[in-house]
């Protein structure tokens, strides 16, 4: 129940307002005293809270048998009202923010740190929508699953290139990395790279392990990391065409290099 209260608060209601409405939904038409008793709202505040909700149209106040009774706005109506208000607020904020957003080119290329899984994924999807010609990726299975639908939509007007790890039936244009002991035991080091049109890029570690990523429009970063992806693809293709002992040789050389 506390989780529900907190979610209603996130819609712009105070804790007491959320508790009062939920209490009325559970009890139906009742007195302020019963709302206070059931919800834990102090009696000294209950009339103030209920009258405030009445003014907003969330609570209905009636005189019944010489007593004042309160009823909740029906849940379907409440939800529709909240959604309508949210949509209006969203549209207003969206238009205002876009009007004041600095759109002039920024002369200095930059690297920005992104925090939070939801924000990182939103940034990735926004970047994909901006892609005009080419998308280059290096993705492990879980990140691929989150972005697969967005990538598939963009294949209609953009070329998709890159490499994926531990993915079944990847989209056309993506190389599936061969199954190796190194891939199977890599642990938390599952970095992802998403680049569009050679102009903008997001890269970072697995967001399941560390909710941090980096955005850049710096051409040096983009050049190096896109070439890193190409190198991975090239080695993957060469090994598939080579002899069986090639994989053992690569594993040995890698271990020696990183000692």
CB 233 within 8 A of CB 163: yes
Q: Which CATH fold topology does 2-75 show?
A: Arc Repressor Mutant, subunit A (1.10.10)
pLDDT, one tens digit per residue, over 166-204 is: 999 999 999 999 887 777 777 777 899 999 999 999 999
User: Please, which pLDDT band fits residue 57 given cuts at 50, 70 and 90?
Assistant: confident
Determine the distance from the C-alpha atom of residue 217 to the mean position of all C-alpha atoms in its chain, rounded to a whole number.
21
Higher pLDDT, 239 or 32: 32
In degrees, to the nearest 5, what angle opens at C-alpha 161 toward C-alphas 158 and 165? Answer: 135
So what's the pLDDT on residue 250? 72
Look over the chain and give the mean of its residue pLDDT values, rounded to a whole number: 88
Q: What percent of the chain has pLDDT over 70?
A: 93
CB 159 within 8 A of CB 214: no
**In angstroms, what CA-CA distances link 204 with 140, 142, 152, 170, 208?**
12, 14, 22, 21, 11
**In angstroms, what CA-CA distances link 15 with 31, 61, 124?**
19, 20, 34
The rounded distance, in Å, linking the Cα atoms of 148 and 135 is: 13
pTM of the entire predicted model: 0.62
Q: Which residues belong to CATH 1.10.10.10 in the chain?
A: 2-75
Q: Which CATH fold topology does 111-244 show?
A: Endonuclease; Chain A (3.30.870)
Q: Which residues belong to CATH 3.30.870.10 in the chain?
A: 111-244
The rounded distance, in Å, linking the Cα atoms of 6 and 13 is: 9
pLDDT, one tens digit per residue, over 88-122 is: 888 889 888 888 876 666 556 678 888 888 889 99
């Amino acid at each position: 129940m506390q989780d529900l209260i907190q979610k209603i608060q996130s819609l712009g209601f105070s804790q007491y307002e959320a508790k009062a409405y939920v209490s009325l939904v559970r009890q139906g038409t009742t007195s302020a005293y019963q709302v206070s008793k059931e919800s834990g709202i102090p009696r000294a505040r209950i009339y103030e809270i209920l009258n405030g909700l009445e003014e907003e149209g969330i609570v209905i106040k009636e005189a019944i048998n010489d007593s004042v009774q309160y009823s909740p706005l029906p849940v379907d109506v409440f939800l529709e009202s909240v959604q309508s208000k949210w949509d209006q607020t969203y549209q207003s904020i969206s238009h205002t923010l876009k009007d004041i957003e600095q759109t002039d080119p920024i002369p200095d290329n930059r690297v920005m740190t992104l925090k939070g899984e939801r924000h990182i994924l939103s940034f990735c999807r926004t970047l994909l929508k901006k892609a005009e010609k080419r998308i280059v990726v290096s993705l492990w299975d879980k990140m691929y699953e989150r972005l697969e639908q967005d990538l598939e939509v963009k294949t209609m007007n953009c070329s998709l290139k890159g490499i994926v790890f531990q993915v079944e039936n990847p989209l056309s244009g993506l190389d599936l990395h061969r199954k190796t002991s190194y891939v199977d035991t890599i642990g938390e080091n599952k970095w992802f790279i998403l680049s569009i049109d050679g102009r903008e890029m997001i890269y970072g570690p697995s967001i399941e392990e560390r909710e941090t990523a980096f955005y850049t429009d710096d051409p040096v970063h983009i050049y190096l990391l896109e070439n890193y992806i190409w190198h991975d693809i090239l080695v993957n293709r060469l090994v598939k065409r080579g002899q069986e002992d090639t994989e053992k040789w690569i594993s040995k050389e890698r271990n020696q290099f990183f000692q």
